[in-house]
Amino acid sequence: MFKSSKLHLLILILFVFACQKSDYREVKQYTIEQFMNTVSIRGSSFSADESSILFSSNKSGIYNAFTIPVAGDEPTQITTSKDNAIFAISYLPNDNRILYRSDKAGNEISHIYLLNEDGTVQDLTPDEKARATFSGWSFDRKSFFFGCTKRDPRNIDYYEMDIETFTPKLVYKNDKGYYLGSISRDKRYLAFLKLITDHNSEMYLYDRETKKLKHLSLHEGDINYSPQSFCPSSKFLYFLTNEGNEFNFLKRYNIETGESETVEQTNWDIWYSYFSYNGKYRVTGINEDGRTVIKVYENETDKLVEIPKLPGGNISSVNISKSEKLMAFYFNGSTAPNNLYLYNFETKKYTKLTDTMNLEINPLDLVEAKVVRYKSFDGVEIPAIYYKPKHLKSGEKAPALVKVHGGPGGQARIGYNSTIQYWVNHGYVVIDVNNRGSSGYGKTFFKMDDRKHGSDDLDDCVEAKKILVATGYVDENKIGIIGGSYGGYMVLAALAFRPEEFTVGIDLFGISNWVRTLESIPPWWDAFKQALYEELGDPTTDKEYLRSISPLFHADKITKPLIVLQGANDPRVLKVESDEIVEAVKKNNVPVEYLLFDDEGHGFINKVNQVKGYQAILDFLDKYLKGEGGV
C-alpha cells in the first residue's frame, strides 16, 4: 500500500506541474463586489401557455421572483422584497399568478404565498410558527400538495390545497416522522420515506382508499430506500435503493403484484428520476464524481433522448413543459455561473436565455476546477476538487486553503463558486476536500466517519497539506483551513485538536459544542434527530464523548488566528456557538475577528452581507496567511 500511495502521489504531482507550465497567464484581479455582481439564479416553471419561465434571482441584492420569455428578452422582476429572500415555486396552471416561498431573515419558518396578477399577496399557510413546504401539483392541476407543521412542530402533516378556494384539506396526519416522496397521478397513493439513520431508511405506501399503510422495504441491516415517482398509470412506484450495492440505483415496485425490478444502474449514485407530465419522458440525474449527469429517456422505448452537449460544464435542473415540447435547464461549470437555457425537442435547438456573469469579469481569468485524489493516513483514497491560480510564476510560493464542505455528509462538487474563484484570483491555491463521510462515493466511504468526527475525517484534511506542498509551489507555512457549518466545525477542530497543522482558520457558522447543537435541533428536524444521534452521539448518553470532540471545551489549545462569521437567526447552528468560541479563543491572546449578521440564518444570501463578509475573509487571509501578521 505504501508503494501504491507514493506512485499515486507522484502521478498527481506530475499532473499538477504540467498544469503549472501550461496554464500560466497574467490575470486581472477583481473585487468582491465584482464577483458578487455575478447574478445567482435557480428554479424554473413554465407559464400556462408556455410563453415564459418563472425563476428566482438575486439580481436585486436578495432573491426575488423573475420571469423571462421563452423567445428571449431581459428578465422581468415580479416581486420586490428588500429584506426576506423570495424563492419562486410555480406558475398557477391556468393563469399568470404564482406561488413562492419565503421565511423571515433566514429563520427557516417558510410559508407558501400566492402572488396575484394585480400585485396583491396572500399567505396561504399563515400560522406564524408553522413551517410549510411545497410537495407538488396534482395531475389534474386543480390543487397542490404541501407539508406543514401547524399541528405538531415535530411532524409534517400533508395537505391538499384546492386552488379555487385555497382551502387546505388534511390528506395524511403524520405522527411517525415520515417524509412524502411522491403522490400517484390518480391521488390514491402516497409514498413515504422514513429515516432510521443516514445509512438505513424505510419506504411505505399509503392507500387513501383503504386507509392502509404498507411497509415496502422489510429488510435487515443498513440499506437505504427512497421513493421517487409513480409512473403515469399509477401502477408502479419508482424508487432508489443501495440494497446489495455501494451506490443508489433505480428500481420499480409493482403495486398490484408486490414485485420489484431494476430499472437503471450505474457506478455512481442515481440522485433522482421522474416523469414528464404526460409520461413521454423519464429524467434521471446522476452524481458522477462531483458532477451532475442528466439522462432523458423515452418512456415507452427506454431509449436515450438527444439533449444538448455543451462544453465546459454540466446540465442540471431539467424541467420539461406540460406539452413536452420544451425543456428548461441550467448549465454551469467552474468558470461559468448558472444560466437558464431552453431546448426544443422538435427542432433540437437550444437557446441561452440568461447571461449572469458580471461583464467586468473575463472568464479566461478564472480557473477550471480539477478532480484529484490522494491517499490519507490509513491508505483510504480521498477525492478533492483542486484550484490553482493561473498567475503563479515559476519558483513562486503561494499560500493555500484546505476547504471543508458542510454536512456531515455533504460533497465538494465541480461548478461555479464565486468565493473560491475570488480567493484563487487573489493568489490562493484551494483544495476542496471530500473527506471520508462525504456523500457520492459509495455507502462504505459515507459511513467511515461515524463516531470519528474531529479525528479520522480531520486527518483526511490534514493529509491534504501534503499534496499541496508536493506541488512545489505552495508554501508549507502558509496553509489555512476554511469551512461552513460542519466544515466550520472542522476548522475549529483543526485549530483545537491539530493546533500546529494550519496557520489560520476561517469558520463560517460552525459547531463548537456538539452537546448543545444536538440538544437544540429544530423541531421540524425531529424525524432526522435519531440519524444524527447515530452518527455523532446522543447527548443524553454520550455527553462526555461529545464534549471530547467539541472544540469549545478544548479552546485553550487554539493558538492560531481565527475569523468567525455567523447569522443571528441561524436555527441549525445557534449564534451562541460562535459567541462562545470567540470569547474562549480571545482568552488565549490569539487574534480573533467576529462578524455577526442580524438578518441572516444558516448561510448568507443578502449581497450586502456577502460583500462585507467575504471581503473581511480576504483581508484576514492577506494579513495572517499571505502576509507577515501571523503568530
pLDDT in tens, 86-130: 999 999 999 999 999 999 999 999 999 999 999 999 999 999 999
C-alpha cell at 598: 442580524
C-alpha cell at 449: 466517519
Q: Mean pLDDT throughout 416-429?
A: 98
- Spatial distance between the Cα atoms of 513 and 523, rounded to a whole number of angstroms: 19
Q: What is the pLDDT of residues 452-510, one digit of tens each?
A: 999 999 999 999 999 999 999 999 999 999 999 999 999 999 999 999 999 999 999 99
Is the residue at 434 inside a domain?
Answer: yes
- Spatial distance between the Cα atoms of 562 and 543, rounded to a whole number of angstroms: 27
- The total number of structural domains that make up the chain: 1
Q: What is the pLDDT of residues 39-88, one digit of tens each?
A: 999 999 999 999 999 999 999 999 999 999 999 999 999 999 999 999 99
The percent helix, strand, coil of the chain (3-state, each to 5) is 20, 35, 45
Is the residue at 231 inside a domain?
Answer: no
Mean pLDDT, the chain, rounded, equals 94
Which phi and psi (to 5°) does residue 59 adopt? -55, -30
Q: How many CB atoms lie within 10 A of CB 83?
A: 10
Residue 146 burial (C-beta neighbours within 10 Å; 0-12, 13-18, 19+): buried
The beta-carbon contacts of 621-625 under 8 Å, at least 24 apart in sequence, are 621/399, 621/401, 621/423, 621/428, 621/480, 621/504, 621/506, 622/426, 624/503, 624/504, 624/561, 624/591, 625/399, 625/428, 625/478, 625/480, 625/503, 625/504
- Spatial distance between the Cα atoms of 169 and 425, rounded to a whole number of angstroms: 53
pLDDT of 628: 53
- Spatial distance between the Cα atoms of 486 and 273, rounded to a whole number of angstroms: 29
Question: Is the pLDDT score of 5 beyond 60?
Answer: no
Is the residue at 472 inside a domain?
Answer: yes
Burial annotation 267-295 (CB, 10 A radius, 16+ → b, else e): ebbbbbbbbbbeebbbbbbbbebbbbbbb
Is the residue at 236 inside a domain?
Answer: no
pLDDT of 14: 45
- Spatial distance between the Cα atoms of 222 and 547, rounded to a whole number of angstroms: 28
Provide the pLDDT confidence category of residue 313 given band limits of 50, 70 and 90: very high
Closest to 178 measured CA to CA, from 150, 146, 155:
155
**N residues, the chain:** 631
Residues contacting 421, CB < 8 A, separation 6+: 35, 335, 366, 367, 387
Is the residue at 132 inside a domain?
Answer: no
Contact in structure between 339 and 328 (CB atoms under 8 Å): no
Q: Which helix (H) or strand (E) covers residue 10, if one does? A: helix 2-22
Residues contacting 2, CB < 8 A, separation 6+: none
Q: What is the pLDDT of residues 373-393, one digit of tens each?
A: 999 999 999 999 999 999 998
Provide the pLDDT confidence category of residue 23 given band limits of 50, 70 and 90: low
**Structural domain for 578, as ranges:** 2-30+367-513+550-626
Strand duo 111-115 + 98-102: pairing:
antiparallel
Question: Is the pLDDT score of 205 beyond 70?
Answer: yes
Q: What angle do CA 116, 120, 122 make, to 5 degrees?
A: 80
Q: What is the 3-class SS of 283-317, one letter each residue? A: EEEEEECCEEEEEEEECCCCCECCCCCCCCCEEEE
* Poorest-pLDDT segment among 210-214, 292-296, 525-529, 616-620: 525-529
Q: What percent of the chain has pLDDT over 90?
A: 92
What is the distance, to the nearest Å, from the Cα of residue 387 to the centroid of all Cα atoms in its chain? Answer: 20
Separation in Å, CA 585 to CA 4, 495, 592: 41, 10, 7
Strand duo 349-352 + 370-375: pairing:
unpaired
Question: Is the pLDDT score of 4 beyond 70?
Answer: no
Question: Is the pLDDT score of 631 beyond 80?
Answer: no
123 SS3 class = strand
Which phi and psi (to 5°) does residue 328 adopt? -90, 145
Q: Mean pLDDT throughout 17-24?
A: 51
Q: Mean pLDDT throughout 231-251?
A: 98
pLDDT of 627: 84
Q: CATH number for the domain including 472?
A: 3.40.50.1820
Is the residue at 542 inside a domain?
Answer: no
Q: Which helix (H) or strand (E) covers residue 333, if one does? A: strand 326-333
C-alpha cell at 469: 506542498
Question: Is the pLDDT score of 621 beyond 90?
Answer: yes
Report DSSP letters for 570-629, one per residue. Answer: -SSS-HHHHHHHHHHHHTTT--EEEEEETT-BSB---HHHHHHHHHHHHHHHIIIIISS-
Report DSSP letters for 337-351, one per residue. Answer: EEEEEEEETTTTEEE
pLDDT of 525: 86
Question: Is the pLDDT score of 1 beyond 50?
Answer: no
The arrangement of strands across the sheet holding 212-215 comes to: 179-183, 189-197, 200-207, 212-215
Is the residue at 156 inside a domain?
Answer: no
545 SS3 class = helix
Residues contacting 428, CB < 8 A, separation 6+: 389, 398, 399, 400, 401, 621, 625, 626
Q: How many CB atoms lie within 10 A of CB 297?
A: 19
Burial annotation 206-220 (CB, 10 A radius, 16+ → b, else e): beeeeeeeeebbeee
